[in-house]
Structure 1
């Protein structure tokens, strides 16, 4: 039998979680794996839960001097770590995965309480970390290159991949641990070291992960500096982006933030991996299984309270089924349980903070001024249960694709209903008619429609799904998008290559020196 929030000892449960994960009342500004920052004099930031407004803990904010210490330590660790055989590096990652399994429930609860996503999503995020560890272990024995036939006699050609160095990871609040693990675990088996700057809104989960990793490093007598975390604001991220000692910066967040990072890294000819905004659409054709589509739409639109980069923001519906879909959604939305994310009955938790609520309300006001029609939701909930002011009712708006607000990504639970007529190519044109290109989906039982969606003139997104929603990607596939989404790829497939430097090798095992392209070059005695 599920318990309601009134029956759950939330405060006691969180206290137990914090103790298990090593979270103190005031937490250090950085860790180099084994050592934590010492000394005082830093500014502090208090972390409040969006679920109930209670203080969870406080963190010290790192200084530029702290950043310098972390980079120096990481650079020294790289010289050691890169010489460890890749399968041995994979063994360390395997042990990290095992530790995460041991702490899954506690870490999942902390993710939920600190960020606001419901507990099932918090647990799912930790499972995603475990899965990427498993993936990385196998990858550690498959860091392959290619062999090629040389045009020159008695020559052999091949290519190989070498560790890159320090990988900077800037993560966002909505997935406070999973996206870091995508980067850090693959980078680790590739022979790189990482410096993680988590979102200043959700730093406690990062500190908890660092405690877990510290145990593995200690047990294996490894040096500090392989896995590093630094708690700071945009200044720390800027230092990382401009630092030539950090050859790759992986940044997740808004398009605006990503452009700044990309510009700074590009100016020094570094590598950037950008996972930015999404304005994701589901197409529902007249041949769709409507009930199946509705399940995907609702989870995609209200999951994580609309704060996923893969959240469903636009619903493109054929005119013949438009009213049917609209009617079903307006019946489903009022029954969605909104409440404390640790309550097992909750399906919609809070927005991250009041600033996000202001953005939510502002977007609804603007789209209605453009001609949009709010048909349900859009309210800020009040009362004892919602005293934080961060709980809202998910909104549905009838709109047109060209509206300015529809063209933008609002990180909140707003679903725009768009009508199309004619064949599926008209729907695809609407789907592609935004600046972002992360995730997309079509619901149809018509093979001609689904195959058209997957062609090179179909969806222009990095992720294109058939009869599943836009959110909930598996780690086995490369994750990322096109256009203003940044073009980066993380997680599965061959995404590991960006964490390494590629080298082509040619070996002459003969006694002559023929040149390529048949060039003759003789030196006169």
Structure 2
């Protein structure tokens, strides 16, 4: 082990300070926790304290729910055009403050500067998309079997939406959910992750500037200890019409069970165990570059990151050799260095999880071809990009989502074998494969049990496409026009005696 460093608060540049806030946002006001308690927010790359946020509990969350419910009484009747303008103004402000938002993400999530900038651009795109989609939330007129009867179908907002967001994409996961909910006419209570609340508060400052009425958007921050109580209240409250959650399958199942007592609308984007298959017809160089981009984005801390790599025997050695060379070229570090590609893991618990998964695999016979340990020269939460071979089904990395910079490689000989191995998991969020065989592309794309499939492509997420999984990877979809469906219900109106 290595010595623990003594940390001091980081000095944030004035041009970024204007978006930093140490208060939560409820009913259009900046408020402290009723208890006046706060928790520290640290930079995982350095361990330095960068700010504090209110440590709220269920009483504070109830205030936010009440405010959102009161606001919904009028917000639901706002015209689609008006909601579109609010969202567009919010988007314009995000674009204007792009660098400031990126710096906050970099500081509290530990992301390399280029990756933080990319997340802001990506996250902004959802608000832009939903600002445009707002005016296309349309119902239908259905031909009636009776001459004097008219069948109308309208889409109406479900009500108050509880949005529980993760730390790995603290900007984009809020905009992807809130953009759709607000477009539909819902009001929101947002519970950001304990590790990354400052991005959410910065977004609320811009939402306030965009003119959203009081209570339409609210953010409740809390430490890890108070998070379950707030989550339970969102599930139990009769004033909350639906929950949208992105996070672990374990927590998603708890929310699913909790919401069942009220038959509450639920959208879940949960953990993945994505396969990455490379067939013998593939362009190996392209597959290697795709593997690097898909796997090591955010240091592997993405639910659509590939976890299990299946390589055809004929190209196995070539692929592994080239992948190792590319991994060696990855630059680790923190700060504003534009060349850094690998940052830290988010917290000590995540570091210990990745370390234990690798240690378990090695103890059971896995071979480490590169990496396999922490990188304390960069900081206590950095873990070396790692490549493991000789993986067996009794190893935890075989079934568990690593959520870190670890590649697990398997060899296969037939298409049938590769698909069977890829589908041998309870998760089904994303999947990737590389092939130049057109017939094979259509066969495998159909057979993979995933909600998102990348074919010769590592960049899957975009505002225009629906994101979500099958099996234990969740319910519902986010992004695209389908994302709005999670926040609307259909009302059938029968007009008779015409």
Structure-1-length-normalised TM-score = 0.89
1:410 maps to 402
Does the 8 Å contact 1:284/1:293 carry over to 2?
yes
Does the 8 Å contact 1:401/1:407 carry over to 2?
no
Does the 8 Å contact 1:401/1:430 carry over to 2?
no
Once the two structures are superposed, residues 6-53 of structure 1 have per-residue CA deviations (whole angstroms, 9 ceiling, x without a partner) of: xxxx965x3335412143xxx12x312521214764322111101111
Q: Aligned to 2:314, what secondary structure does the other structure show? A: coil
Q: How does 1:333-482 map to 2 (within 5 A)?
A: 333-383=327-377, 386=378, 388-400=379-391, 402-403=393-394, 404-422=396-414, 424-455=415-446, 458-469=447-458, 471-482=459-470
1:102 equivalenced with 2:102 (yes/no): no
- Between stretches 82-91 and 492-501, larger displacement belongs to 492-501
State the 1:509 CA deviation: 3.7
State the 1:464 CA deviation: 1.0
2:480 maps to 492
Cα distance in 2 for residues equivalent to 1:377 and 1:50: 20
Cα distance in 2 for residues equivalent to 1:391 and 1:71: 38
1:517 maps to none
Q: Aligned to 1:350, what secondary structure does the other structure show? A: coil
Q: Aligned to 2:449, what secondary structure does the other structure show? A: coil
Among 12, 15, 40, which residue is 2:13 paired with?
15
Does the 8 Å contact 2:430/2:451 carry over to 1?
yes
Q: How does 1:81-120 map to 2 (within 5 A)?
A: 81-120=75-114
Q: Aligned to 1:53, what secondary structure does the other structure show? A: coil
Runs in 1 of length 4+ with deviation above 6 angstroms? none
Does the 8 Å contact 1:293/1:467 carry over to 2?
yes
Does the 8 Å contact 1:437/1:461 carry over to 2?
yes
Among 60, 65, 69, which residue is 2:63 paired with?
69
1:514 maps to none
1:39/1:493 CA distance change after superposition, 3 Å: closer
Q: Aligned to 1:45, what secondary structure does the other structure show? A: strand
1:228 equivalenced with 2:218 (yes/no): yes
1:321 equivalenced with 2:321 (yes/no): no
State the 1:137 CA deviation: 1.7
1:34 maps to 28
Does the 8 Å contact 1:17/1:109 carry over to 2?
no
Cα distance in 2 for residues equivalent to 1:223 and 1:302: 40
State the 1:472 CA deviation: 4.2
Cα distance in 2 for residues equivalent to 1:124 and 1:493: 23
Cα distance in 2 for residues equivalent to 1:129 and 1:321: 37
State the 1:158 CA deviation: 2.5
Q: Identify unmatched segments of 5+ residues in structure 1.
A: 1-9, 511-525
State the 1:489 CA deviation: 0.6
State the 1:405 CA deviation: 2.4
Q: Aligned to 2:408, what secondary structure does the other structure show? A: strand
Cα distance in 1 for residues equivalent to 2:20 and 2:431: 40
Cα distance in 2 for residues equivalent to 1:341 and 1:206: 21
Q: Aligned to 1:36, what secondary structure does the other structure show? A: strand
Does the 8 Å contact 1:244/1:270 carry over to 2?
no
What's the C-alpha RMSD, in Å, of the aligned pairs? Answer: 1.7
Cα distance in 2 for residues equivalent to 1:370 and 1:237: 38
Q: Aligned to 2:475, what secondary structure does the other structure show? A: coil
Does the 8 Å contact 2:16/2:103 carry over to 1?
no
Cα distance in 1 for residues equivalent to 2:494 and 2:257: 35
1:207 equivalenced with 2:201 (yes/no): yes
1:5 maps to none
1:269 equivalenced with 2:263 (yes/no): yes
- Between stretches 393-402 and 106-115, larger displacement belongs to 393-402
Q: Identify unmatched segments of 5+ residues in structure 2.
A: 1-8
